[in-house]
Amino acid sequence: MWSVGVPHLIGWTGFVMAVSKFSDTRRVDWALKLMARAVPKLAGIGVEVLGREALEEGTPYVYVVNHVNIFDMFVLYRAIPGYVRSLELAEHFSWPIFGQFITATGQIPVDPNDRRVTAWGLRRATAMLKDGDSLLVLPEGSRTLDGSVGRFYPGAFRLAIKSKVQVVPMAIKGGRTVSRRGEWRVKSGKTQVVFGAPVSTDGMTLKNTDELGGRCREIVIDLLQGRRGPGE
């Protein structure tokens, strides 16, 4: 699977980088969406999307989701409709191939150890939301080791409150059956991406950040454990 997947990734990366030099990243978004479909399929991973009908077309959202494996971003970009970009750790932009790819596709760097980098990234994310684009955040900050959902960092929820946009909790189910943190082996299997109902930030201030984050984390856990259905 790696022998097929890596050359495929390199090819797409080269294409996106070339186009991004003389065109806006929006114009290569179709290529990113197509890649997000192709990579899991080449790895033998089926993707089922549930609950997407709860979203309103053309509305910007902050999407928050549990972080499972290296395929998360592919299945998420396939599942989420419209133009969306994500917050990425600044160190990822220096990785071979992957770093060039996320730079070319317009992902947004943040660095817990560098306030200037993070401040710039959050300003850019705020501008995107105000322009009607959506933002994807993995608020745990790292992939799960045991399948549990870790604490959510507050950045995504501050952005949502300040920008007055709704937060959409999401859950990736079945990801650990195909790939796990610390293992390079990939198994064929099926992954589900489950959307919860959008959570309003109306009337909230930054004092409600922890409350919002805690509520969204509970929804993600409920979606994972089946206590809440798709779109609920």
- Domain annotation covers residue 232: no
Global pTM exceeds 0.75: yes
- Domain annotation covers residue 23: yes
Range of the domain at 75: 2-225
> Containing H/E element for 108?
strand 108-110
Q: Are 171 and 224 in contact (CB under 8 A)?
A: yes
Is residue 58 packed enough to be buried (19+ CB in 10 Å), middle (13-18) or exposed (0-12)?
A: exposed
- Domain annotation covers residue 203: yes
At residue 103, the pLDDT reads 82
Residue 151 carries which DSSP code?
A: P
Cα–Cα distance measured from residue 82 to residue 85, given in angstroms and rounded to the nearest whole number: 10
Collapsing DSSP to helix, strand or coil, 167 comes out as strand
CATH number at residue 219: 3.40.1130.10
Cα–Cα distance measured from residue 88 to residue 52, given in angstroms and rounded to the nearest whole number: 24
Number of domains in the chain: 1
- Domain annotation covers residue 231: no
Q: Are 102 and 25 in contact (CB under 8 A)?
A: no
Cβ contacts of residue 230 below 8 Å, gap of 6+? 50, 51, 54, 194, 195, 196, 223
Digit-coded pLDDT (tens) for 104-141: 788 899 888 888 998 899 899 999 999 999 999 999 87
- Domain annotation covers residue 6: yes
Report residue 127 as tokens.
């501008």
Percent of the chain clearing pLDDT 90 (strictly above):
41
- Domain annotation covers residue 230: no
Report residue 60 as tokens.
């910007």
